Amino acid sequence: MTKREDKSSKGKQIMPIARPLIETMNEGYFEVDLKGNFTYSNPSHAQLMGYSPRELIGTNYQKYMTEKEANATFKVFNEIFKTEKAKKSFIYQFFNKNQEPIHVESSIYLRYDEDGNKLGFSGFIRDITVQIRTERRLKKSERDYRNIIENIEEGYFELNLQGNFTYFNPACCDILGYNPQEMIGMNYREYTSKEEAKRTFKTFNEVYEKNSPNLDFQFDAIRKDGKKIYCECSIYLRHDSNGDKIGFRGIIRDVTARVEAKQRLRKSEEKYRKIIENTREGYFEVDLAGSFTYFNNALRTMLGYSQEEMMGMNYMEYMTEQKANETFQIFNKVYKTEETHVSFEYELISKENKKLYGESSVYLRYDKKGNKIGFSGFVRDVTNLREAYNRAEFYREILSHDIRNMLNSIRLSFEYIQETEESILKSPELKEMADIIEKQVNRASKLILNIQKLSSIEKKGTSVKKVNLTEIIDNVIKNVKDRSLSNNIFIDFKPPKKSNVVYGGKLLNEAFENIVLNGITHNTFDKKIILIKCSYSSIGKQDYIKVEFIDNGIGIPDAQKDKIFSRSYKNEKARGMGIGLSLVKEIIENYNGKIQVKNRVNGDYTKGSNFIVFLKKV
């Protein structure tokens, strides 16, 4: 066979496909001459490029490519020309008529004429644009994913089925204390104890067998520096593209600080329990139904029950029905408001049926997730204090009634002597002593009366209602003048111009009279002047009527102004017992008012005092 015959035979082998079949096939088919100009394009190829076959014929392939892509394609065509070997799976990009980039996979062959001479190229192309774009998005997603993994605070790892590291992020290196070169290929047995390695193998094996992740595996690890750390880990299976199991991956966290904090807390709780057990005050914990879940020895001793008897006992079992209802209201309020209730006093009944008085604080209890689970509190046995208070009340009654009656008897007897045996008191010395006796009896009576009023205020409080301020002050002025034997007392009252109704009560008479008498008693002038004037004032958002009692008495030194309302205060010049002004302050404040004292003349206390009372305006 001649050489020409060989080439002819070779050309026939390259193109065995009939034209009708090429025209109807889905794959694109094209033919170009040796310069790269299209000589044929089947409908599928033309449609892919966005032109008709006629528009493509005679145009060069480089027209539809970037310069870089055209150069790369030329090299492929040139290689095929020189080697006479077809190029399969050649991927390149061109632009269609709409200038949209199209990615194709092509098989390119050399074409011969009937004599075996090279006359051009032919090829089949398949549109892989969607595939290329998907691959690019996938690669970008993988890059983004790796970037996130590389920068998260938690450690990320990938292991093969033998448990050797195949990938890890910087945080994982930081946790274990190794550099990347040391960690790659490292087996889990190298950073765990023998016991932990066995437990770790068992856990990973379960993940493998069940094909199910473990989201909360906790284990101890040993860092490169030998320090023991506590780790929390999630474990997932890894699969290849065929779905075969190839290893594991997961997130690892160093929870050493949290674990050690729990250990310290556990030790602290044990210490706390010991303190609770040995404290003299009772301590309790109850569930939401009010049944004991824990209590200390002091509370058990207080109630007189055994450990077994008290555990699970409900509060209604050691209280009267009334006190149990009151206790329920307190605990219910603590539950709803989540605020601690301090100094809650209630009655308890011991096992021996003895009535006890307890003072308790109540706290809401929560579980680790923050759910409300019950209450706790300390109980102080105040039975002895309550009994002492009752005894004090008894002594107060004696002081208020019996001794007061005795003083009245002395006063009446003294008045009788004065009237019947006037000659006996003609002696100046006896007259002076009689005056002293009379004054002291009057002072003692007034002291007892003030003690009664203070005790009543502390015990019951005062009833606040709307009162006419002008009527009260007019009544006070009348009472003071009626009781005074002196004609040298001048009281000038300037009532409010408009509204004169305030929040107060009947004890305002007592308070105002006390202030007026104070200005008269502590006054060395023959002419004793009291000016009472009213005005309107606001403190914050509250409106008040301001009542000023201005006298020309001896005044009060600035250093003593903060002390005069104290029960223990004593005025050395007047030898007063201080309880009068203390009573005034108690009364005013129980009516939600305010009281203060200033100088009548600014900067000079010796010119007299100005007692200022603020009462809430209606």
pLDDT (tens digit, 9 = 90+) per residue, 408-456?
A: 666 666 665 666 555 555 666 566 666 666 666 665 666 566 666 666 6
The residue-averaged pLDDT of 584-589 equals 88
CB 511 within 8 A of CB 594: no
Predicted pLDDT at 10: 44
Q: Which of 112-116, 192-196, 259-263, 610-614 has the lowest mean pLDDT?
A: 259-263
Residue 9 pLDDT class (50, 70, 90 cuts): very low
72 and 78 Cβ atoms separated by less than 8 Å: no
Whole-angstrom Cα distance, residue 361 to residue 345?
Answer: 9
User: What is d(CA 262, CA 254) in angstroms, rounded to the nearest whole number?
Assistant: 14
Residues of 21-30 as b/e, b for ≥16 C-beta within 10 angstroms? ebeeeeebbb
Backbone φ and ψ for 201, nearest 5 degrees, come out as -60, -45
Mark whether 609 and 467 lie in a shared domain. yes
Do 42 and 96 reside in the same domain of the chain? yes
**Rounded percentage of the chain residues whose pLDDT exceeds 70:** 82
pLDDT given for residue 228 in this prediction: 94
Phi, psi of 520 (to 5 degrees): -85, -45
User: Is the pLDDT reported for residue 165 higher than 60?
Assistant: yes
Domain boundary at 71, 100, 133, which? 133
Look up tokens 């102004």; give the residue. 561
Does residue 411 share a domain with residue 375?
A: no
Q: If pLDDT is split at 50, 70 and 90, which confidence band does 575 have?
A: very low
Residues 212 and 286 in one domain: no
Q: What is the pLDDT of residue 488?
A: 86
- CA–CA distance, 339 with 350 (Å, rounded to integer): 29
SS3 121: strand
Q: How confident is the model at residue 382 (pLDDT cuts 50, 70, 90)?
A: confident
Same domain? For 548 and 598 the reply is yes
Say whether both 478 and 516 belong to one domain. yes
Q: Give the Cα separation of 256 and 150 in Å (integer).
A: 22
Q: Which of 2-11, 362-371, 594-603 has the lowest mean pLDDT?
A: 2-11
Question: Which residues neighbour 150 within 8 Å (Cβ) at sequence distance 6 or greater?
Answer: 169, 170
Q: Is residue 576 part of a domain?
A: yes
Measured distance CA(574)–CA(600) in Å, rounded: 19
At 215-274, the pLDDT tens digits run 999 999 999 999 999 999 999 999 988 889 999 999 999 999 888 888 887 887 777 777
Q: Where are the beta strands (DSSP E) in 57-170?
A: 87-95, 101-112, 118-127, 155-160, 165-168
Residue 370: per-residue pLDDT:
87
Per-residue pLDDT tens digits for 44-76: 999 999 999 999 999 999 999 999 999 999 999
Q: Specify the number of domains making up the chain.
A: 5
Residue 2's pLDDT is what? 37
| Kind and range of the H or E run holding 138 | helix 129-151
Q: Please tell me which residue, 136 or 101, carries the higher pLDDT value.
A: 101
Give me the pLDDT at residue 41, please: 93
394 has pLDDT over 60: no
3-state SS assignment for residue 312: coil
Structure tokens that stand for 552 in this block: 């020309």
In a shared domain, residues 162 and 200: yes
Say whether pLDDT at 326 is over 50.
yes
- The pLDDT confidence band at residue 590, using thresholds 50, 70 and 90, is confident
C-alpha distances (whole Å) from 448 to each of 403, 408, 422, 452 are: 9, 12, 30, 6
Q: What mean pLDDT do residues 538-557 have?
A: 92
The pair phi, psi for residue 200, each rounded to 5°, is -65, -45
Band (pLDDT 50/70/90 cuts) for residue 302 is confident
Helix (H, G, I), strand (E, B) or coil at 496: coil
pLDDT tens-place string over residues 445-493:
665 666 666 666 655 566 789 999 999 999 999 888 877 766 788 999 9
| pLDDT above 60 for 579 | no
DSSP 3-state of 435: helix
The rounded distance, in Å, linking the Cα atoms of 232 and 217 is 6
**483 found inside a domain:** yes
pLDDT at 301 over 50: yes
* Residue 588 belongs to some domain of the structure: yes
**Both 173 and 122 in a single domain?**
no
In a domain, residue 271? The reply is no
pLDDT at 67: 94
Residue 326 located in a structural domain: yes
Average pLDDT of the residues in 510-523:
89
- Backbone angles phi and psi of 237, in degrees to 5: -80, 145
SS3 assignment, position 158: strand
Q: What is the distance between the alpha carbons of residues 446 and 576, in angstroms, rounded to a whole number? A: 11
What letter does residue 389 receive in the DSSP assignment? H
From CA 603, how far away is CA 598, in angstroms rounded? Answer: 9
Q: Nearest 5°: phi and psi at 227?
A: -75, 135
Q: Is residue 270 part of a domain?
A: no
Asked if residue 12 has pLDDT above 60, the reply is no
Check whether residue 392 and residue 373 sit in a common domain: no
User: What's the confidence (pLDDT) of residue 429?
Assistant: 59
**Mean pLDDT for the stretch of residues 194-201:** 94
Q: Is the pLDDT of residue 393 over 90?
A: no
Q: Which two tokens stand for residue 107?
A: 């098989």
Residue 372 and residue 396 in one domain: no
Q: How far is CA 237 from the centre of its chain?
A: 39
| For range 567-591, the mean pLDDT | 67
Asked whether the beta carbons of 607 and 555 are under 8 A apart, the reply is: yes
Contact assessment for residue 175 and residue 231, using Cβ atoms and an 8 Å cutoff: yes
| Spatial distance between the Cα atoms of 292 and 282, rounded to a whole number of angstroms | 13
Say if CB 148 and CB 128 are below 8 A apart. Answer: no
> Using 50, 70 and 90 to split pLDDT, how confident is the model at 125?
very high
Show which of 406, 425, 456 is a domain's final residue: 456
Contacts of 158 (CB under 8 A, 6+ apart): 165, 166, 167, 168, 238, 247, 248, 249
- Phi, then psi, of 372 in degrees rounded to 5: -70, 125
pLDDT higher at 273 or 376: 376
Determine the pLDDT at residue 281: 86
In whole angstroms, what is the distance from residue 170 CA to residue 226 CA? 19
For residue 291, give the CATH number of its domain. Answer: 3.30.450.20
Question: Is residue 496 domain-shared with residue 596, that is, in the same domain?
Answer: yes
Q: Among residues of the chain, what percentage have pLDDT more than 90? A: 50
Dihedral (Cα; 341, 342, 343, 344), 10-degree rounding: 10
* pLDDT category of residue 3 using cuts at 50, 70 and 90: very low
Q: Write down which residue in 456, 472, 495 finishes a domain.
A: 456
Taking the CA atoms of residue 526, residue 527, residue 531 and residue 532 in that order, the dihedral angle to the nearest 10 degrees is 70
Q: Is 164 exposed, middle or buried (CB count within 10 Å of its CB: 0-12, 13-18, 19+)?
A: middle
612 and 467 share one domain: yes
Torsion of CA 126, 127, 130, 133, to 10 degrees: 90
Q: What share of the chain is helix, strand, coil (3-state, %, to 5)?
A: 45, 30, 25
Give the mean pLDDT of 331-347: 86
Q: Per mean pLDDT, which range of 2-6, 15-19, 413-417, 452-456 is the poorest? A: 2-6
CA distance 266 to 260: 10
The answer to whether 504 and 587 have CB atoms below 8 angstroms apart is: no
Number of residues that this document lists for the chain: 618
> What does residue 532 show for φ and ψ, rounded to 5 degrees?
-115, 115
**DSSP for 318-372?**
GS-HHHHHHHHHHHHHHHHH---EEEEEEEEE-TT--EEEEEEEEEEEE-TTS-E
pLDDT: is 174 or 8 the higher one? 174
CB 439 within 8 A of CB 478: no
- Average pLDDT, stretch 336-346? 84
- Structural domain containing residue 420: 387-456
Residue 141 belongs to a domain: no
Average pLDDT of the chain to the nearest whole number: 84
| Number of H-type helices and E-type strands within the chain | 19, 22
Which residues, in sequence order, are bridge partners of residue 612?
A: 548, 596
